[in-house]
Chain A
Amino acid sequence: MMARRALMYVFLGAAAFVSVFPFLWMIVSATNPSVEVTKGRMLPGTHLAENVTTLFRQVDMVQALANSFAIAVATTVLALAIGSLAGYGFEIYRSRAKDVVFNVLLLSMMIPFAALMVPLYRMFAALSAKAPFIGIDTKASVILPTMATAFLIFFFRQNTKMFEKEMLEAGRIDGLGEFGIFFLIYVPTMRTTYAAAAIITFMTSWNNYMWPLIVLQSENKKTIPLLISNLGSAYAPDYGMIMTAIVIATLPTALVFFLMQKHFVAGMLGSIK
């Protein structure tokens, strides 16, 4: 019995070590010059300030952070608005026709993005001539296709099942319109659902790579993942600097994770309730 417990701790310890090690290496490497990193130095150094300076001099990190942030915030706000309105609508105003539409929408979750990228690219390329502000190489072109997701609609619908229907009647008696009920009663009571959905959406947008890689072409439009990917494919990489960039890119999502771990997990599990 004792041996089995010891084995369990060894297994868990090993799993935890393997999981955390790349993070430790990333942080340690961000404080060391590139030469030391290649030599396999595993102790914190004093080169962090230099790495940060080199990074901000070599690439426009501020611009990329601003781009990523603007896109992620806009996507989150729009996706939550659209997804929660629909999830609420499908659940509260249930009808046979709406259930059919809902099930068809769910099918879109099976469509791989790889299958969409060519026609979407052509769609936005065609738009570029007529409406340059939403064509290729704009923030709008990144945001638009990710604004409505079947996952969020499903997530809000599932959570709406737990929303007390008596509150609808109370709202109607108080003379609120249907949209008034949604905005003044539903939204405030479903705060935790919105928080979980916001975290998942923000993270997905912040980390999105494939679609921005295709549509964002100018240097000053690039988002953080594109910038990291470019740095990572350098012929003679400056390891210390690149690790600093990755640390900075990971900070926002890591912060969200540590501050709101409960909501984070709730958002993840939301898809299976």
Chain B
Amino acid sequence: MSYRIRSRLVGWCFVITAVLLICLFYFWPMIQAFNLSLKSGTGTNLQYVGFDNYKRLFTDSTFIAAVTNTFIYLIVQVPVMIVLALILSVMLNDSRLKFRGLFRTAVFLPCVTSLVAYSVIFKYLFAPDGLVNLLLMKLAIIEQPIGWITDAFWAKVTIIMAITWRWTGYNMIFYLSALQNIDGAIYEAAKIDGASAFRQFTTITIPLLRPIILFTSITSTIGTLQLFDEVMNITRGGPGNATMTISQYIYNLSFKYTPDFGYAATVSYSIVVLIVLFSILQFKVAGDRR
């Protein structure tokens, strides 16, 4: 056997386990999910119904609520978090700043908690008789406790605050490492030309960080579209369906209500479609403009 062929075969030996496992646990289930999405029935008693499940999506009020909620989280939370993370990273990149390490560690700290652990902490902090209401009332900012968990509007706010708390520091680290690679001379030149700090931020920092901002906004979007742990542990999707997400709805359809695996698989395809659409959109908005 020639060296070339032998070397190629050896190469396949290195990668084969991973390739097979990913096919088995990612691609094969996706094919099965599509097959399932064409069936309906309860438990293991399933019949082919064609695209009926997909038609059902458009009249299913719980599904529409879940998609709407997910979009609200996405549109409000992702931009707020990215702007916050950018501001923090620019501040922390300032070499004259005192206690830099301390600030950086503090802002990054939420990343060490598990999603379930911090969700439970937030649930108690924001409970009707929780510490947040207690403090706000003591400071006379509010008179009545706010229904952080029990009110349809505030429950969404609580979820958004929770996710922002958990992930801002994570994104900040990406920006900070990118900022450290920018040549300081660019900023010096801008300063000599009389550019204000704000102008430097919008005309130097943002354009240079564009690829990494794109990367973080795509990963955050994918994360938010799959939101589950937080909603499950802070609000259980309630009140009503006010904070329900698509992932939680799939879970409920499969494991909480009488299992309807066919329809659950249909709903799960909607997340895949959304992820692909949003990723393309973000590439279009932030990607090509060079």
Contact = CB atoms under 8 A, between A and B. Distances in A.
Contacts of A256: 112
A214 interface: yes
Contacts, number: 247
A228 B27 contact: no
B64 interface: no
Interface residues of B, number: 90
The B contact surface, by secondary structure, is: helix
A98 B233 CA distance: 42
A105 B19 contact: yes
A15 B8 contact: no
A239 B112 CA distance: 21
B102 A268 contact: no
Contacts of A15: 84, 88, 103, 106-107, 168
B63 interface: no
A110 B121 contact: no
B228 A114 contact: yes
Given A117-B251, A121-B254, A229-B116, A110 B174 contact: no
Interface string B211-244: 0100100000010011011001100100000000
A206 B113 CA distance: 10
A86 B27 contact: no
A85 B8 contact: no
A136 B26 CA distance: 18
Interface stretch (A45-53, A58-66, A143-151): A143-151
A89 B14 contact: yes
B33 A112 contact: no
Nearest to B249: A114
Contact of B116 (A86, A153, A228, A261): A228
Nearest to A88: B14
**A interface: dominant SS:** helix
A38 B129 contact: yes
Given A16-B103, A257-B112, A115 B30 contact: yes
Interface in B97-130: 97, 102-103, 105-125, 129
Contact of B122 (A22, A153, A214, A225): A22
Contact of A114 (B119, B121, B173, B246): B246
Given A16-B106, A225-B115, A229-B233, 4 more contacts: A18-B165, A115-B269, A115-B271, A116-B268
Interface of B: 7-8, 10-15, 17-19, 21-22, 25-30, 32-33, 36, 84, 87-88, 91-92, 94, 97, 102-103, 105-125, 129, 131, 134-135, 165, 168-170, 173-174, 177, 197, 212, 215, 222, 225-226, 228-229, 232-233, 236, 246-247, 250-251, 254-255, 261, 264-265, 268-269, 271-272, 275-276, 279
9 contacts: A8-B97, A15-B168, A40-B135, A82-B17, A115-B30, A123-B29, A148-B22, A225-B114, A253-B114
